[in-house]
Structure 1
């Protein structure tokens, strides 16, 4: 059985369709719509690209990964009558801490000075579980996306989504099911913060996956496909 309602996919920072390609192969979706956030240079453009893919009067499922989870949340809050469900992957609804904002400011300065080495082992280790750092289907894809999209895309994405406010109040207003999916070893979307979010949001459930870093759609594809299938109401 496939999903008849459209499913919108929102990629993360410095990601394109490649973050979802393995996942799409394992999902039975009749109407799959991808939001090309890599084309946007501001939050307003991200929202415009997203809402262009929702037709008047229809119900859609939203699947947002990392930064895409933030944009999906903003879209859902602005189009509540059109939302059938939400799956938020490796995304912390609590927003950015002061230390994370400081790190982003440092990153912006670094990028503006022309320094960007996406194949750096330390850079990759922030996002990928140690067991997959030599896996071309994970690390290789991450490096390829970063090299192809480049520092200008990373800079645009960082500036467009900083600061990032707490979105609990927005999610509380949404009456549809919300599935939070997090990696126990994720260094970006901390699992303890996701656990707190799941207790604060009455309409949310949390699925914790082990042996995965932040690149969860590539690292735990089959388990994630099962979570999404359950949340949008189809058989995998």
Structure 2
């Protein structure tokens, strides 16, 4: 009997390593990782997803990848049967975040890039994991594998985000949201606002976890996948 397929979409500067701990014991599914690092816009990601996803498919998406999945679902309301949205909202980026990204791009274009610093990597993790060298190294390895050009391209491609919350009401996709109340990168109020626009959506809100939920709480994510899909 053919296993059900799960398509995984990752965040900025993330590779399949993001899902390594989740998928290691997720043998009842065929896990397919979609690489969006070559895309220069969400429209290009839409085209890639259109060519890759099956009909009535299952999608697990994290951070920027989760926004991309929601962006695709708005234009293709019947294409994704079920979608798990992790560490993401459907809102646009704040002016502060946009300015930070612009400054980062300007700096990268003028200087050598030596890879993500430990200080920056720790911003993605909950303080309880700041001594977890395994998780820190995974973040550094993903960044190293992709490199400076991908970082610049992804920052440029994914910064201009429209607010999708109202449009999400029209889709048929069943959605489960997983988010952390202590995520330093994604405002939990934005996630809750997204949830309120989706009366049929279910959700899991975490404590003692940072932004990198698939790395920090892989057992919880795996259990949620099994229960939801």
Tell me how far apart the structure 1 counterparts of residues 168 and 28 of structure 2 sit (CA, whole Å): 25
Aligned to 2:31: 32
What is the correspondence of 1:213-224 to structure 2 with a 5 Å cutoff? 213-224=210-221
How far apart, CA to CA, are the structure 1 residues paired with 2:2 and 2:190? Answer: 31
Q: State the partner residue of 1:54.
A: 53
Match of 1:66 in 2: 63
Structure 1 contact 178–205 (Cα < 8 Å) conserved: yes
**How many Å apart are 1:116 and its aligned residue?**
3.4
Distance 1:216 1:115, change over 3 A: farther
- SS at the partner of 2:166? helix
In the TM superposition, what whole-angstrom CA distance separates every residue of 1:13-34 from its partner, at most 9, and x where no partner exists? 0011111111112324433221
Deviation of 1:218 (Å): 0.3
Q: Determine if contact 2:122/2:136 at 8 Å carries over to the other structure.
A: no
Per-residue CA distance 1:99-142 (angstroms, 9 max, x = gap): 11111111111111225344423211221112222323311100
Q: How many residues align?
A: 229
Distance of 1:72 and 1:180 partners within structure 2: 13
Is 1:199 the counterpart of 2:196 in the alignment? yes
- The separation in 2 between residues aligned to 1:175 and 1:45, in whole angstroms, is 23
Q: 2:59 & 2:198 partners in 1: Cα distance?
A: 17
Residue 75 of structure 2 aligns with which residue?
A: 78
Tell whether the 8 Å contact from 2:42 to 2:71 is kept in structure 1 after alignment.
no
Q: Distance in 2 between matches of 1:5 and 1:103?
A: 40
**Cα distance in 2, alignment partners of residues 125 and 24 from structure 1:** 23
How large is the RMSD of aligned CA atoms in angstroms?
2.0
TM-score normalised by length of structure 2: 0.91
1:89 positional shift: 0.5
Gaps in structure 1 of 5+ consecutive residues: none
Unaligned runs of 5+ in 2: none
